[in-house]
């Protein structure tokens, strides 16, 4: 697959910002519709509006690349290793409860590996992405659609294994996660929603993020790409091998997103 990565990332960044504007219009309204999908997870009009906007933009710009999105997942029957993957509103529960920890996630997967991605948290005005060379940055706002502002390179921490910083899910934290975290010597633990957890590891604000629960590839691909571009990695928790994409059902095993240097414990 031949891709102009600079053009790709400019498009992904712009579409994430445009989707973020549409999401915030709905978020700031007096009320919005919430329904249940076939798997009982919630979906809002913001999910669907952002999905339509991003999907149309990606199909127009990159018609030759397969596209996977959360809101159209029931129609996907793909056996591909190279594809674009989208979660138009990651952290729907955070959105519904107006907690702000939700993101727009768009990524490119090549040969099963997320190589480029953007994570935009519109309510928090934080924007993370990989640049055309594959390094990761956080751009300072305010954000213009067609002009990139000040983008600061980000890098994972050098962990102190006797005083680790851990981040875990805000809406899905459970006893299994807490029991796993207790296996480490932790200085501080924080909670965050959506793929922001990957980005907190990527910026060095946390050393690792374990996930002992259900996730799908669209939940993780963009954050995975940002973390990889900052020097981090995402590993399966059963055998500590790299998490790969393009799995038949797009479902992930338990995993850990981490800076190098954490002595990981498999489960």
Query: Is residue 135 domain-shared with residue 15, that is, in the same domain?
Result: yes
The range of the structural domain enclosing residue 47 comes to: 5-153
Is residue 89 a known part of a binding site?
A: yes
Q: Which of 153, 184, 207 corresponds to the end of one domain? A: 153
Any domain includes 107: yes
For residue 73, name the pLDDT band (cuts at 50, 70, 90): low
Coil, strand or helix: which one is 204?
A: coil
Q: Which of 96, 123, 153 corresponds to the end of one domain? A: 153
Cα–chain-centroid distance for residue 100?
15
pLDDT digit string, tens, across residues 16-31: 999 999 999 999 998 8
Any domain includes 159: no
More confident: 168 or 78? 168
What does the mean pLDDT of the chain come to?
A: 93
Query: Is residue 193 domain-shared with residue 249, that is, in the same domain?
Result: yes
Any domain includes 134: yes
Q: What is the pLDDT of residue 35?
A: 82
* Cβ-Cβ contacts under 8 Å for 106 (sequence gap 6 or more): 12, 15, 16, 54, 58, 84, 85, 86, 117, 118, 222
Query: Is residue 133 domain-shared with residue 99, that is, in the same domain?
Result: yes
How far apart are the C-alpha atoms of 195 and 131, rounded to whole Å? 18
Is residue 92 a known part of a binding site?
A: yes
Q: What is the pLDDT of residue 228?
A: 98
How far apart are the C-alpha atoms of 119 and 17, rounded to whole Å? 10
What mean pLDDT is predicted for residues 48-66?
96
Predicted confidence (pLDDT) at residue 227 exceeds the cutoff of 80? yes
Helices 45-61 and 5-27 cross at an angle (nearest 10°) of 160
Q: What is the pLDDT of residue 198?
A: 98
Query: Is residue 10 domain-shared with residue 140, that is, in the same domain?
Result: yes
Query: Is residue 80 domain-shared with residue 128, that is, in the same domain?
Result: yes
Query: Is residue 55 domain-shared with residue 139, that is, in the same domain?
Result: yes
Any domain includes 266: no
Is residue 90 a known part of a binding site?
A: yes
Predicted confidence (pLDDT) at residue 61 exceeds the cutoff of 70? yes
Q: What is the pLDDT of residue 42?
A: 79
CATH number for 24: 3.30.540.10
Any domain includes 263: no
Query: Is residue 177 domain-shared with residue 218, that is, in the same domain?
Result: yes
Number of domains in the chain: 2
Coil, strand or helix: which one is 248?
A: coil
What mean pLDDT is predicted for residues 47-72?
94
Query: Is residue 48 domain-shared with residue 98, that is, in the same domain?
Result: yes
Any domain includes 222: yes
Query: Is residue 109 domain-shared with residue 179, that is, in the same domain?
Result: no
Q: Is the dihedral of CA 183, 186, 192, 198 positive or negative?
A: negative
What does the angle CA 119 – CA 85 – CA 173 come to, to the nearest 5 degrees? Answer: 60
CATH number for 211: 3.40.190.80
How far apart are the C-alpha atoms of 47 and 35, rounded to whole Å? 11
Strand ranges, E, within 63-112: 66-69, 83-90, 103-110
Any domain includes 29: yes
Query: Is residue 148 domain-shared with residue 177, that is, in the same domain?
Result: no
Is residue 219 a known part of a binding site?
A: yes
Q: Which of 123, 153, 183 corresponds to the end of one domain? A: 153
pLDDT digit string, tens, across residues 96-133: 999 999 999 999 999 999 999 999 999 999 999 999 99
Any domain includes 236: yes
Cα Rg of the chain (Å, integer) = 17
Is residue 47 a known part of a binding site?
A: no
Predicted confidence (pLDDT) at residue 173 exceeds the cutoff of 80? no
Query: Is residue 76 domain-shared with residue 133, that is, in the same domain?
Result: yes
Q: What is the pLDDT of residue 32?
A: 86
């Amino acid at each position: 697959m031949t891709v102009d990565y600079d053009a790709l990332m400019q498009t992904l960044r712009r579409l994430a910002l445009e989707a973020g504007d549409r999401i915030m219009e709905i978020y700031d309204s007096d009320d919005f519709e919430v329904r249940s999908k076939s798997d009982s997870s919630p979906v809002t009009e913001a999910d669907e509006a952002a999905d339509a906007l991003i999907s149309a933009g990606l199909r127009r710009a990159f018609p030759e690349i397969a596209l996977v999105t959360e809101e159209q997942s029931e129609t996907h029957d793909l056996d591909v290793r190279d594809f674009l993957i989208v979660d138009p509103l990651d952290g729907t529960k955070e959105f519904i409860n107006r907690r702000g920890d939700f993101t727009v996630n768009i990524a490119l997967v090549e040969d099963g590996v997320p190589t480029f991605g953007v994570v935009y948290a519109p309510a928090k005005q934080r924007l993370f992405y990989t640049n055309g060379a594959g390094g990761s940055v956080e751009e300072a706002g305010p954000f213009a659609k067609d002009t990139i502002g000040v983008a600061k390179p980000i890098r994972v921490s050098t962990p102190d294994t006797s005083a680790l910083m851990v981040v875990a899910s805000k809406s899905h934290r459970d006893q299994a996660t807490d029991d796993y975290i207790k296996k480490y010597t932790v200085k501080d633990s924080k909670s965050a929603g959506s793929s922001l957890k990957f980005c907190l590891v990527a910026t060095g604000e946390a050393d690792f993020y374990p996930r002992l629960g259900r996730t799908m590839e669209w939940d993780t691909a963009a954050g995975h790409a940002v973390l990889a571009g900052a020097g981090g990695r995402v590993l399966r928790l059963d055998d500590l091998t790299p998490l790969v994409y393009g799995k038949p059902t797009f479902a992930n095993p338990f995993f850990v997103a981490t800076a190098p240097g954490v002595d990981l414990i498999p489960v």
